């Protein structure tokens, strides 16, 4: 499997984050260094595996295929890190198939240098009674888009997407999800949170598609963004395409600043302005972070979020 290069303008037409301009950047060619503990492309042993991508200051791409065997329960910790300072443009693709009853928790940390450009594509097919959980913390890159395409292909397949973006200065971060409910009694749940300051732009474009006949489907989607500066911007767009009549689907989007009344209340209890802000933003991000089942990853992400808050809140 090889990546096909950067997308064209035509392909990008309906996106918020146009990546075609990255293709025009003059950069040397390089390659992504991938390390980690994955024993093979087909995972037959339960356990926890790592997949680490080190991105050079060059144009580069990588692609990886994984399959989780029937009934096997796996955690995959994926990280994207810059190998060197300077401008890099990395395209990275991951294709995953979950066999019947397989369970995958996918924890993805994107912590690239703020000079980097990144396009991540993750495509997952979820078979009967299998379950896929995606959790992400994105705080890096000048411009990054993660396209997440999940196909719930058979009865009882489940997906959950919980993502947190912390962006400052001129960063732009995009999460575009497409969840295809192809079979009956499939469920999906998404909670996307953005904390944006400076002139940062967050994007969430989430499509839920329920195929004809995919009855008793349950698809839930929530996007919440906290804007900490007047120039920060959130673009959010739910797209529900429902072709079955016995389904439960909902979506919600909220964009706002910290509540002045609440800040005042906290100050009237002795908290300084920074303490009050940090308590409130901490509570906002914790709703995502507390869903992480792996305690060491959870505490690492909590520390990183805390550091970000101290610098930017």
| Shortest reach from residue 270's CB to another protein, in Å | 4
CA–CA gap between residue 145 and residue 18 (Å, rounded): 9
Q: Which is nearer to another protein, 117 or 162 (CB)?
A: 162
Q: Which is nearer to another protein, 240 or 279 (CB)?
A: 279
Q: Which is nearer to another protein, 8 or 275 (CB)?
A: 275
Q: Which is nearer to another protein, 21 or 267 (CB)?
A: 267
Q: Find, among 101, 197, 108, the residue nearest to 155 by Cα.
A: 101
266 near another protein (CB under 8 A): yes
Q: Which is nearer to another protein, 171 or 222 (CB)?
A: 222
26 near another protein (CB under 8 A): no
Contact window for another protein (CB under 8 A) among 47-55, 152-160, 254-262, 298-306: 254-262
Q: Find, among 262, 261, 242, the residue nearest to 251 by Cα.
A: 242
CB of 247 closer than 8 Å to CB of 219: yes
| Shortest reach from residue 109's CB to another protein, in Å | 22
155 near another protein (CB under 8 A): no
User: Residue from 4, 9, 11, 267 that binds another protein (CB under 8 A)?
Assistant: 267
User: Residue from 279, 291, 300, 302 that binds another protein (CB under 8 A)?
Assistant: 279
230 near another protein (CB under 8 A): no
Which residues in 283-312 contact another protein (CB under 8 A)? 283-284, 286-287
CA–CA gap between residue 55 and residue 117 (Å, rounded): 10
Task: Kindly give, in sequence order, each residue whose CB lies less than 8 Å from that of residue 152, ignoring residues fewer than 6 positions away.
Answer: 126, 158, 159, 179, 180, 181, 182, 183, 186, 187, 188
262 near another protein (CB under 8 A): yes
269 near another protein (CB under 8 A): yes
* Helices 273-289 + 295-312 axis angle, to 10: 150
CA–CA gap between residue 280 and residue 271 (Å, rounded): 12
265 near another protein (CB under 8 A): yes
270 near another protein (CB under 8 A): yes
Q: Which is nearer to another protein, 95 or 279 (CB)?
A: 279
CA–CA gap between residue 202 and residue 144 (Å, rounded): 10
Q: Residue 48: how many CA atoms within 13 Å on its side-chain side?
A: 8
User: Residue from 275, 299, 310, 311 that binds another protein (CB under 8 A)?
Assistant: 275
CB of 52 closer than 8 Å to CB of 34: yes
42 near another protein (CB under 8 A): no
Please provide the DSSP assignment of 70-121 as one string: TT-EEEEEEEEEESSSS--EEEEEEEEEE-TT-EEEEEEEE---TT-EEEEE
Residues that bind another protein (CB under 8 A): 259-262, 264-273, 275, 279-280, 283-284, 286-287
């Amino acid at each position: 499997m090889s990546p096909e290069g950067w997308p064209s303008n035509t392909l990008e037409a309906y996106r918020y984050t146009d990546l075609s301009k990255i293709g025009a950047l003059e950069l040397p060619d390089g390659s992504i260094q991938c390390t980690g503990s994955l024993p093979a492309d087909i995972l037959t042993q339960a356990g926890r595996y790592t997949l680490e991508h080190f991105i050079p200051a060059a144009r580069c791409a990588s692609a990886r295929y994984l399959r989780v065997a029937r009934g096997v329960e796996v955690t995959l910790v994926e990280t994207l890190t810059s190998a060197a300072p300077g401008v890099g443009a990395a395209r990275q693709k991951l294709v995953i198939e979950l066999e019947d009853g397989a369970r995958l928790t996918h924890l993805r940390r994107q912590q690239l240098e703020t000079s980097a450009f990144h396009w991540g594509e993750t495509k997952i097919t979820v078979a009967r009674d299998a379950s896929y959980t995606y959790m992400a913390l994105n705080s890096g890159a000048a411009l990054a888009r993660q396209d997440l395409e999940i196909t719930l292909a058979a009865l009882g397949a489940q997906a959950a997407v919980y993502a947190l973006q912390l962006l400052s200065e001129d960063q732009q971060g995009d999460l575009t999800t497409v969840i295809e409910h192809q079979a009956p009694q499939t469920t999906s749940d998404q909670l996307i949170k953005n904390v944006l300051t400076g002139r940062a732009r967050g994007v969430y474009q989430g499509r839920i598609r329920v195929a004809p006949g995919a009855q008793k489907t349950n698809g839930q989607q929530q996007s919440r963004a906290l804007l900490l500066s007047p120039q920060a911007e959130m673009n959010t767009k739910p797209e529900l395409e429902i072709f079955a009549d016995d389904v439960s689907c909902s979506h919600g989007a909220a964009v706002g600043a910290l509540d002045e009344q609440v800040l005042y209340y906290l100050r009237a209890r002795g908290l300084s302005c920074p303490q009050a802000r940090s308590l409130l933003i901490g509570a906002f991000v914790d709703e995502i972070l507390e869903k992480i089942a792996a305690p060491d990853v959870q505490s690492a992400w909590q520390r990183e979020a805390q550091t970000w808050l101290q610098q930017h809140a």
